[in-house]
Amino acid sequence: MTTAKSTAAISALDAELGAEHGQGLFEFLTDVQFWVKDAHGRYLRVNQALLMNYGFNDAGAVLGKTDRDLFAPHLAEEYVRDDRAVLAGRAIRGRIELVARPDHSTGWHVTDKIPLRSRSGRIVASAGITRDLHGRTASAISAEVRALAPVVEIIRARYTEGLDKPRLARAIRLSCRSLERRFVAAFGMPLVKYQRSLRMHQACHLLVSSRKPITDIALGLGYGDHSHFTREFGKRFGVSPRVYRARWSHRASWSTAADPLPRSLG
């Protein structure tokens, strides 16, 4: 059931933004998830596609809640960082990213997010859409990304090893420079950053869902030692692996989460 606080927030946002903004149109797009969040990250509007993607019975299970209430911590933290950037006025266009699914796995999506302004010009909320990379609406982008599928598959299979750029380039018959340029254009990040992202997603999963010693996790993910892993983890999440584990390991719903590595792009 929608809380009194979220109901009041929806009413306040309606007063600020005025009209319905065509939200009803998103109910016709079954492959596009739509949402609006307030300045505190609380969901104010969602469409049926979003509810179905996450396995929610109705909007009442989502409205008034934040990403930290609903999703695995390593994904929620990324969504929260995005919200801060959007609320500061920076739109996010056509980004390829991992999005949660009902079984707690993740899939590749194309995401757009924009700030919403009141009549006075003040940013009062954020809105976004995301759609499966393999969906009809993503076809123009997916062709470019799918051309890089062999590279993604190699990195995914060998993300604990050193990044072998010549091998990756040979897989799709490009020079290393051309591969890097195309990869950045498609995924919005260099190859090395992409590999680090996979490692960090897996690190979060292992910290929360297992009791492995942190040193073992670090070595298993390809880091030289505990200290190197801790530094990299702290740069990304703002806390140490030990603090992260203490904060989130009690979340039983994530202790049985599926391996978060993405499925094939091919």
- 6-48 pLDDT, tens per residue? 656 656 665 565 545 556 667 767 778 999 999 999 999 998 8
Give dist(CA 21, CA 23) in Å, integer.
6
Is the domain of 131 the same as that of 182? no
> Is 135 part of a structural domain of the chain?
yes
CB within 8 Å of 93: residues ≥ 6 apart: 112
Q: Is 41 left (phi over 0), alpha (psi -120 to 50) or beta?
A: left
In this prediction, residues 197-204 reach a mean pLDDT of 84
Tell me: pLDDT of 104 over 90. Answer: no
Residue 35 within a domain: yes
CA gap 180, 189 in Å, rounded = 9
Cβ atoms within 10 Å of 68's Cβ, excluding its own: 15
Specify if 149 maps to a domain.
Answer: yes
Name the residue among 122, 127, 203 with its Cα closest to residue 160: 203
**Domain span including residue 235:** 193-255
Order of strands, sheet of 106-117, starting from the edge strand that comes earlier in the sequence: 43-46, 32-38, 123-132, 106-117, 92-100
Q: Do residues 55 and 101 both lie within one domain?
A: yes
Q: Are residues 98 and 181 in the same domain?
A: no
User: Is residue 184 located within the same domain as residue 210?
Assistant: no
Q: Tell me which of 78-87, 100-109, 250-259 is least confident.
A: 250-259
Residue 238 falls inside a structural domain:
yes
Give the residue-averaged pLDDT of 137-154.
Answer: 70
Residues 6+ apart with CB under 8 A from 111: 92, 94, 95, 96, 97, 99, 128, 129, 130
Structural tokens at position 210: 């297992």
In a domain, 265, yes or no: no
Once rounded to an integer, what is the mean pLDDT over residues 213-227? 94
Domain-embedded: residue 160: no
Q: Are 51 and 59 in contact (CB under 8 A)?
A: yes
Domain count for the chain, please give it. Answer: 3
In 10 A of CB 226, how many CB atoms? 16
Domain CATH number, residue 233: 1.10.10.60
Higher-confidence residue of 179 and 107: namely 179
**Looking at per-residue confidence, does 174 or 259 come out higher?**
174
The reply to whether 263 falls in a domain is no
15 and 131 within one domain: yes
| 3-state DSSP of the chain | CCCHHHHHHHHHHHHHHCCCCCHHHHHHCCCEEEEEEECCCCEEEECHHHHHHHCCCCHHHCCCCCHHHHCCHHHHHHHHHHHHHHHCCCCEEEEEEEEECCCCCEEEEEEEEEEEECCCCCEEEEEEEEEECCCHHHHHHHHHHHCCHHHHHHHHHCCCCCCCHHHHHHHCCCCHHHHHHHHHHHHCCCHHHHHHHHHHHHHHHHHHHCCCCHHHHHHHCCCCCHHHHHHHHHHHHCCCHHHHHHHHCCCHHHHCCCCCCCCCCC
Average pLDDT over residues 246-256: 56
Verify that 106 and 35 share a domain, yes or no.
yes
- Band (pLDDT 50/70/90 cuts) for residue 254 is very low
**Residue % of the chain over a pLDDT of 70:** 74
Shared domain for 21 and 105, answered yes or no, is yes
Q: How far apart are CA 31 and CA 13, in angstroms?
A: 26
Q: Are residues 235 and 221 in the same domain?
A: yes
Which CATH number does the domain housing residue 18 bear? Answer: 3.30.450.20
pLDDT value for 13: 62
Q: Is 107 found in the same domain as 45? A: yes
Bridge partners (DSSP) of residue 108 are 98
- The pTM score is 0.58
What is the pLDDT of the chain when averaged over all its residues?
79
Query: Does residue 265 surpass a pLDDT of 50?
Result: no
Which amino acid would we find at residue 9? A
Q: Does 227 map to a domain? A: yes
Domain co-membership, 129 together with 81: yes
Asked if the model's pLDDT at residue 121 lies above 70, the reply is yes
